[in-house]
Amino acid sequence: MSFEVLQGKLRTRILELHHMANSGHIGCSLSCIDIMISILCAKNEGDTFILSKGHAATALYTILSELGEIPMEVMDTFYKNATTLPAHPAPLKYKAIPFATGSLGHGLPLATGIAKANKLKKNNHTSFVLMSDGETNEGTTWEAAHFAVANKLDNLLIVVDKNGLQGFGNTLEVLGDTAAAAVWTAIGFDVETCDGHHLKSLMETKAELLSRKNGKPKLIIANTIKGKGVDFMEGRLEWHYLPMGENLYQKAVEAVRSAYSIDSN
């Protein structure tokens, strides 16, 4: 399966889950699914991945089911009573989800701790964490960032899903650009910026950063579009929250099929 087809296929699955559940957080998952593909489909044994923006759980669930980490039949239980797949990831349910998240600002300290442990154990594992740009408002971001620099954690790779929208406004208007490359570079991070929906670019940027054993923790600022792949959702704050009715679901699926050249099967 080509990456383009996978990008489309996982998007239609995300839409399907949200349609089944009549739930929101659609735009957030469509914003970061490509980043997850770039990390999880090329992860080495021993590497860890933490989804810090836990509200993009459907993106995580769909790719983990694609990779065989979550049984397909369990996916049908999403958002229902007695599920192991609530709207934000649950603790201690799946090996590939090492930590439950949902409250923002937790993933980076966790991933930083894992990176520090890997250094103490002198192994070559990489600790990946995916954050939202709004999430970089959280104070723990800066506590962990300074620790990572001071401890030379070049085995830590943060990807910021920079779609420019947060819970109740544009990131620039809320607290300013707390995910600005200049800020992170000044702290001491090794920073690269790329198109967060272009898989080749994401993977090359990741490989380039990890090849630099320079003692600097790594950051990819992935420029993204909230709701990417569904034209009427793209760049719109309301698709952080809204569920889809039947008509909009059909339109959304058509939009994805058209954008990613996949057939209706």
Partner 1 sequence: MRKHFSEHIERKAKEHSDFVFVTGDLGYNALEGVIGVMGDRFINGGVAEQNIVGMAAGMASTGMQVICYSIAPFIVYRCLEQVRNDVCFHKQPVYMVGNGGGYGYGIMGSSHHAIEDIAVLSPLPNMMCYIPAFIDDMHHCIDAMFARRGPAYLRLGLGKNMPDGYGLTDFGLAAKANPEARLTVLALGPVANNVFAALKEHPHRDKVEVFVINRMPMPVLPHEVSASIGRSGNILVIEEHVAIGGLASAVSLLTHENNLLVNRFQSLRAAGYPDGTYGSQAYHQQQSGLDEQNIAAVIHHYF
Q: Rounded to the nearest 5°, which phi and psi values hold at 91?
A: -75, 150
Please tell me the count of residues contacting partner 1 according to CB under 8 A: 32
How far is it, in rounded angstroms, from Cα 214 to Cα 152?
A: 8
Does residue 144 belong to the site contacting partner 1 (CB under 8 A)? yes
Contact 257, 222 (CB under 8 A): no
Q: Which is nearer to partner 1, 112 or 166 (CB)?
A: 112
Contact 15, 228 (CB under 8 A): no
- In terms of Cβ atoms closer than 10 Å to its own Cβ (0-12, 13-18, 19+), residue 25 is buried
Q: Which is nearer to partner 1, 108 or 221 (CB)?
A: 108
List 20, 24, 83, 98, residue binding partner 1 (CB under 8 A): 98
Does residue 69 belong to the site contacting partner 1 (CB under 8 A)? no
List 41, 96, 100, 203, residue binding partner 1 (CB under 8 A): 100
How far is it, in rounded angstroms, from Cα 215 to Cα 230?
A: 40
- Match 């459907």 to its residue by tokens: 58
Does residue 84 belong to the site contacting partner 1 (CB under 8 A)? no
Window 103-142: residues binding partner 1 (CB under 8 A): 103, 105-106, 108-118, 120-121, 127, 139-140
How far is it, in rounded angstroms, from Cα 141 to Cα 154?
A: 17
Q: How far is the CB of 40 from partner 1 (least distance, A)?
A: 18
Does residue 146 belong to the site contacting partner 1 (CB under 8 A)? yes
Q: Rounded to the nearest 5°, which phi and psi values hold at 195?
A: -75, 115
* Residues making contact with partner 1 (CB under 8 A): 91-92, 98-103, 105-106, 108-118, 120-121, 127, 139-140, 143-144, 146-147, 150-151
